[in-house]
Amino acid sequence: MSEEEQVVAAGEIPVPHSAPLPFGLSDGKEIIVDGVAGHGEGFSINLCDGPDLNSQTAFHFNPRFNQNEVVRTHNAGGWGAEEKQGAFPFFRGSGYQVKIVVKDHAYQVFVNNSFFCDFNHRVPKEMVRYVFVTGDTSLSRVSFADQYAPVINNPPVPFTTAIPGGMYPGRMIFISGVPNFGADRFSVNLVCGGDFDACDVALHMDNRLAYGNGNTVVRTHKQGGNWGAEESFQNFFPFSPNAQFEIMILAEPSGYKIAVNNQHFCEFAHRIQPVQRADHVHVRGDVRLTQVRFQ
């Protein structure tokens, strides 16, 4: 499934947790909550027009361990009728993932990647502005996605594209490719505009296979036409000519986390803020790209 994803929170997240949606709700949008259930009575995931349950709630998803039921309802000036049918797929002390997929007629809910239920819209989905999680649970991740975000296959290099929906804390960018035979260097860049040479660069990841001392990944930024200090500490060098790679860049409030081939590689603290200024991806150098996708 091609999807663009924005992670508004990751790591150990305090509960109650309120997060504004990075987009209006429409067909194909997804809200994804990863956590571990506590040992109490239960917890709830809520789609609201304000930051908490004092607001109107378009969808209230409430696993109740004391009843072995998952209650679904809404609140528009008063709580509506409860829907409780279905199994109870949650366990005290165990991890879970709840994914809410927005459809034109309903919210479609998946628990641990298995379909759980539909909840037909009782109030317009367009009213929803926040996701609010409360109760006896810990959270590791809250993210948003779009089933219809583009995946770009085999683009030519140099390559520049706008980031669909812009950059947000938690947006993930995946770049797959193969360094050319005899490759000297290639770079992956998050650019504040569509012109790498003229615009500020929030992240410049320069992968040097045979340039300078070689086997080095230099990270820096450019602002006002001037390049910043270089960072090059690394525990390993992940690139080889003619060898497939995948770079994952995750934007967080404090900086970018970079993984290569599913292994954490480095972090790069934001030097250009807000993070939304970086709105284009640019790749250049001795590399063949196989795919660029956004989550």
Q: Cβ distance 154 to 148 under 8 Å?
A: no
pLDDT of residue 7: 52
CA distance 142 to 135: 15
Q: Cβ distance 239 to 209 under 8 Å?
A: yes
- Name the fold adopted by 152-294: Jelly Rolls (2.60.120)
* Alpha helices (H) along the chain: none
Chain segment 212-227, per-residue pLDDT in tens? 989 999 999 999 999 9
Chain segment 27-57, per-residue pLDDT in tens? 889 998 989 999 999 999 999 999 999 999 9
Identical topology for domains 4-146 and 152-294: yes
Chain segment 128-163, per-residue pLDDT in tens? 999 999 999 999 888 887 777 778 999 999 999 988
Pairing assessment for the beta strands 263-269 and 280-285 based on DSSP bridges: unpaired
Spell out the residues 6+ positions from residue 244 whose beta carbon is closer than 8 angstroms to its own: 176, 177, 178, 290
Q: Where are the domains of the chain?
A: 4-146, 152-294
Note the CATH number of domain 4-146.
2.60.120.200
pLDDT band for position 8 (50/70/90)?
low
State residue 126 phi and psi, 5-degree precision: -65, -15
State residue 277 phi and psi, 5-degree precision: -65, -30
Query: Residue 42 region, left (φ>0) first, then alpha (ψ -120 to 50), else beta?
Result: left
Q: Cβ distance 28 to 174 under 8 Å?
A: no
Q: Is the pLDDT of residue 6 over 70?
A: no
What pTM, to 2 d.p., does this model score?
Answer: 0.57
Distances (CA, A) of 228 to 82, 85, 194, 203, 223: 57, 58, 20, 10, 8
Q: Please state the rounded mean pLDDT for residues 107-124.
A: 94
65 Cα distance to chain centroid:
30
Distances (CA, A) of 221 to 153, 187, 258: 27, 12, 15
pLDDT of residue 167: 84
